[in-house]
Amino acid sequence: MASIPQCGVCLEEYHHEDAHRQPHGLRCGHSFCAACVEGLIGSHPHGHPFAVCPTCRRETSQSDVHINYGLRDIVEQLRTATAAAPTDPTTPAVPPSGQDPPLTARQQRQQESDFDFVPRPPNEINATDAPNDQTSPSGCQHEVVQEGTGNVPALNDSVEVDIDVWRDAFDGNNKVFHGRAGVCRVSSLWCWLDEALLQMREGETRRLIDPYGSFTQLRLIGILDS
């Protein structure tokens, strides 16, 4: 039987009746549970009523967020079919006495997040850990991988950049974006990305963990002539 779709942020299964776990769609076409979308709106770096999609970075105003009825109907069908399917009598419905019930996906992620804030000795820290050199005003942790020697861009400059984005870790298995020599204009649209570019010199490579938990490696190739 097909598995029930999950929210890509908290990894909880969607639910057609639970208002917090119903799938909500953004203008970019990506969907997440209502609770996570509310969290995205509440954590906007500039306090604006917008949700920044953690997958593609496009912004959606709070008024444009809507229930994804198509996905919700699929979830309802799958849950109805699962409830009607015969259960395996050999599988215990509750954990044995004295054992804690298994953690939900959301609880597991919270537990892992809590662990990240526990001080650990240097030999326990590896390349998948959050860079902890500096934290920017927008909440991004970042470290400079390679120093730049060129100029620093100004607001509204056009720049050429390399961008790689992972969901799991730097150089991880879940790469969601790979862009080479892309051209963009430095503006306030991207918030934390704009903030990073305005601090970088040409030739610099830095790694950031954005406010939504994605791992981004950014290389400023150069500033283009106006």
Residue 99 vs residues 87, 88, 95, 102, 208: alpha-carbon distances, Å:
22, 21, 6, 9, 39
Split into its structural domains, the chain has a count of: 2
Same domain assignment for residues 156 and 215? yes
CATH number of domain containing 175: 3.10.50.40
- Token output for 8: 């890509």
Residue 57 lies in a domain: yes
pTM of the model: 0.43
Residue 193 lies in a domain: yes
Q: Give the strand pairing for 23-25 and 31-33.
A: antiparallel
Query: Which structural domain range is residue 66 located in?
Result: 23-84
Residue 39 lies in a domain: yes
- What string of pLDDT tens digits covers the 226 residues of the chain? 457 788 888 878 888 889 889 999 888 888 889 988 888 888 777 778 898 888 888 888 999 999 988 888 888 888 887 776 665 555 555 555 555 556 555 555 444 433 333 333 333 333 344 444 566 666 678 899 999 999 999 988 888 889 888 878 888 888 777 778 877 777 655 567 778 888 999 999 999 887 667 788 999 999 987 6
Contact between 48 and 41 (Cβ < 8 Å): no
Residue after which a domain boundary falls, among 68, 84, 100: 84
Residue 53 lies in a domain: yes
